[in-house]
């Protein structure tokens, strides 16, 4: 499956893995460039090679899912992009900049599995937190904060405390917070990992809607095969010991994708391909 380049509408949605296959567009500038990155963690005398010389390039405006078993380094990869970890070897560049200088401008948004809200702050003030950390005037952005709260479907809850919200609602607050600086790169670390399957599917719908309304380059770590396939333009499959990229599988379905897709035979075929890539030795 080869996408038209550039696709209609002028938005570039394409993720490439240089190391694993030949890409005809490898010369195009990447939004996110991870080159030969290795990272070792040491704990109690043991050292674990979390990432072994990983190379990954992600085009501007594409949605990429990272999937793989526990310990394959997918979260580490995301944390490297956020500048929360530094690589032992190799480079991480976002638009030819280091993550540190890129994030200092508020160009990076992040959401975790644990929504990590400040329990003493209202929804509105939680969403405003990144602006405060960046030293911006929160009052000047009040309208966009309220618009974001509306975008994630929490109209009327702006003054509620996190403790008064359900798990799914808290996760929406975290996503609104991730979007408040109008980031050009959005990082999602298992954002719906703590939710039940039913809620998770509707949150996947929501995320697609939000992402379509405010396009960014998105990198999402997930454990769920169908979540990865439903949301992404391209799924990067990783494996553990050592953490590495095994395969990159493009997801061809047009957008907007509807819940009906979960039942489609083509969707299942893609999921099977992903499962096979995740567990090459498994019986299929």
Select 103 or 244, whichever has its Cβ closest to other proteins: 103
Least distance between other proteins and beta carbon 63 (Å): 19
DSSP 3-state of 249: strand
For residue 56, the 8-state DSSP code is E
What distance in Å separates the CA atoms of residue 247 and residue 56, rounded to the nearest whole number?
Answer: 11
Minimum CB separation from other proteins for residue 77, in Å?
A: 15
Report the alpha-carbon angle 185-188-189, nearest 5.
140
Residue (187 or 232) nearer to other proteins, CB: 187
What residues contact 260, with CB distance under 8 A and at least 6 apart? none
32-43, strands of its sheet edge to edge: 15-16, 46-58, 32-43, 89-94
**CA-to-CA distance for 123 and 129, rounded, in angstroms?**
10
Given the complex with other proteins, which of 76 and 239 has the nearer CB atom?
76
| Residue 30 main-chain phi, psi, to 5 deg | -95, 145
Q: What's the min distance (Å) between Cβ of 242 and other proteins?
A: 23
Residue 58 or 131: the one with the smaller Cβ distance to other proteins is 131
Report helix angle 167-179 to 197-213, nearest 10.
20
Q: How far is the CB of 79 from other proteins (least distance, A)?
A: 8
Nearest alpha-carbon partner for 4 in 14, 16, 19: 14
Query: Rounded to the nearest whole angstrom, what is the least distance from the CB of residue 174 to other proteins in the complex?
Result: 9
Task: Specify whether the CB–CB gap between 47 and 97 falls below 8 A.
Answer: no
Q: In the bound complex, what is the minimum distance in angstroms from residue 203's beta carbon to other proteins?
A: 18
Residues near other proteins (CB under 8 A) are 79, 82-84, 100, 103-106, 108-110, 112, 114, 116, 118, 120, 129-130, 132-134, 177, 181, 187
Complex with other proteins: residue 115 or 243, whichever CB lies closer: 115
Q: Which is nearer to other proteins, 117 or 277 (CB)?
A: 117
């Amino acid at each position: 499956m080869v996408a038209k380049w550039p696709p209609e509408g002028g938005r570039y949605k394409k993720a490439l893995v240089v190391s694993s296959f030949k890409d005809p567009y490898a010369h195009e500038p990447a939004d996110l460039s991870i080159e030969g990155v290795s990272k070792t963690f040491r704990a109690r005398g043991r050292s674990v090679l979390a990432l072994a010389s990983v190379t990954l390039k992600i085009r501007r405006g594409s949605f990429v899912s990272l999937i793989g078993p526990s310990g394959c380094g997918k979260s580490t990869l995301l944390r490297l992009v956020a500048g929360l970890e530094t690589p032992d070897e190799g480079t991480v560049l976002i638009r030819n900049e280091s993550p540190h200088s890129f994030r200092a401008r508020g160009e990076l948004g992040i959401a975790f599995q644990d929504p990590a809200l400040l329990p003493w702050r209202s929804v509105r003030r939680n969403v405003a937190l990144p602006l405060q950390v960046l030293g911006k005037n929160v009052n000047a952005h009040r309208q966009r904060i309220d618009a974001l709260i509306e975008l994630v479907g929490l109209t009327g809850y702006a003054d509620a405390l996190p403790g008064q919200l359900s798990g799914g609602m808290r996760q929406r607050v975290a996503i609104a917070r991730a979007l408040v600086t109008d980031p050009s790169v959005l990082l999602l670390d298992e954002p719906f990992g703590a939710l039940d399957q039913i809620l998770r599917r509707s949150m996947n719908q929501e995320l697609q809607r939000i992402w379509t309304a405010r396009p960014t380059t998105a990198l999402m770590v997930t454990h769920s095969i169908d979540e990865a396939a439903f949301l992404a333009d391209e799924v990067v499959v990783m494996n553990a010991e050592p953490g590495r990229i095994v395969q990159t599988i493009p997801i061809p379905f047009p957008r907007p994708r509807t819940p009906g897709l979960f039942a489609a035979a083509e969707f299942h075929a893609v999921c099977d391909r992903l499962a096979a890539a995740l567990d090459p030795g498994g019986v299929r």
